[in-house]
Amino acid sequence: MIKENLKEIKKNDPKVIRGWVMYDWANSVYQLTIASAVFPIFYNQATKAAYHGPTVSFFGHPAINTVLYSWAIAAAYLIVGLFSPIFSSIADYTGRRKHL
């Protein structure tokens, strides 16, 4: 029922290519701004306790909150880097790029 309402995406259509380029550009700018400028400041303030300072407990071990944030971002990008080729090939093969 859902496939009946969908139109076929034309290959090499300049409007489709421009739309995807603009979507990718806007998404990249948003991610860059939030991940590098806004969220580190928020995370630093949210995890700073009055009596412990910038140290937080991570699985029972003390860690500096900004270092822990950096390691979490690095791990997340590593996971994205490993699985992105798999998911993009699935999206291309199935024709569900926008959904995935």
The pLDDT assigned to 5 comes to 58
Q: pLDDT digits over 78-87, tens only? A: 999 999 999 8
In a domain, 56, yes or no: yes
| Enclosing domain of residue 32 | 11-94
In a domain, 2, yes or no: no
Q: Which two tokens stand for residue 69?
A: 């944030």
In a domain, 3, yes or no: no
In a domain, 49, yes or no: yes
Q: How many domains does the chain have?
A: 1
Tokens 């603009």, located at residue: 22
Can you tell me whether residue 7 is helix, strand or coil? Answer: coil
In a domain, 99, yes or no: no
The pLDDT assigned to 66 comes to 81
Q: pLDDT digits over 34-93, tens only? A: 878 888 888 888 777 666 678 878 888 888 888 888 888 899 999 999 999 998 898 888
In a domain, 82, yes or no: yes
In a domain, 100, yes or no: no
Distances (CA, A) of 28 to 11, 22, 53: 24, 10, 33
In a domain, 1, yes or no: no
